[in-house]
Amino acid sequence: MSNPLLNPDKFGPAAGPPTAWPGQPGAPVPPAPDNVPGSPWPPPPPRPGVGTTLGRQGVASATAVLLAIIAVVGVVGWNLVTTETTVGLNDQGQVVEQTSVSIPPWIFAALFVGLALVIATYFKPAWARVTAPLYAVAEGLLIGAISKAYEVRFEGIVLQAVGLTLGIFVMMLVLYATGRIRVTPRFRLGIIAATGGILLIYLATFVMRLFGGDMPFIHGTGPVGIGFSLVVVVIAALNLTLDFDFIDRAERAGAPRQLEWFAALGLVVTLVWLYLELLRLLAKLRSR
């Protein structure tokens, strides 16, 4: 689901301009309007300790490491899924092959492990150097297994979802970097509210399925279901701009370098959510 990590509260109360970071001398950073192109705060004054503050290159490197872990462990999760092909007759008397997928139940525990790691890191950002790779391992197993299940039913869907995820990431990065999308307080609040609403819908669906029910229409392959998945994909993509904004603000405010893994984890959480939602959307489109 959505990224609960990257929010301005991590480096300033109520998204306000922070004072100097702990252990670093300097006067409070003067505020600037939040609706102008680029970052809202000017770079902090020069100070000793070059390389001790968060940098975009460091966040990018940490993100690449986490995605590599997910990819490698994802191969393991993929291979843990077994398939069985049976031959039978359809209603027209034609011979057809049907392939069933079996996912080890324990793999789904990775979902809760990943969630627990994200929650723990939210309260202890300094743990991210350890919890972020562990999250990547847990999610790699889960994503690998889920991807195999989708691929068995819809050949080529995984490659499509990966390509779309990469394309959307690049597009949102360009839109943010060029100022086409500005993360204002109102914009941020709207995305957070929409993300929270989607989370509530998924929680309600989970509870209903425990009792044998389901949320009508939105999880089906009809127009309403496809429209819902499309909206969720858009919200997930817009969450990327909040991640970029957090990284931009933290860098300009002189955040401690240890937050690079924290920022990378938040970005990966959003990318994982986006990839899974694209899988769902593509599967609905190809099921029609």
Angle at 35 between CA 31 and CA 39, to 5 degrees: 60
> Does residue 86 lie within any of the structural domains?
yes
> Does residue 196 lie within any of the structural domains?
yes
Q: What is the pTM of this model?
A: 0.80
What's the structural domain count of the chain? 1
pLDDT, tens only, 15-36: 344 444 444 444 444 444 444 4
> Does residue 3 lie within any of the structural domains?
no
Per-residue pLDDT of the chain (288 residues; tens, 9 = 90+): 446 566 555 654 433 444 444 444 444 444 444 444 454 445 555 444 446 888 999 999 999 999 999 999 999 999 999 987 776 666 666 656 677 788 888 998 999 999 999 999 999 999 999 999 999 999 999 999 999 999 999 999 999 999 999 999 999 999 999 999 999 999 999 999 999 999 999 988 888 888 877 777 788 888 889 999 999 999 999 999 999 999 999 998 888 988 999 999 999 999 999 999 999 999 999 987
> Does residue 38 lie within any of the structural domains?
no
Q: Which residue type, as a one-letter code, is found at position 10? A: K
> Does residue 5 lie within any of the structural domains?
no
> Does residue 179 lie within any of the structural domains?
yes
> Does residue 264 lie within any of the structural domains?
yes
Candidates 39, 65, 63; CA nearest to 255 is: 39
Question: 201 lies in which domain range?
Answer: 54-287
Beta-bridge partner residues of 256: 53
> Does residue 18 lie within any of the structural domains?
no
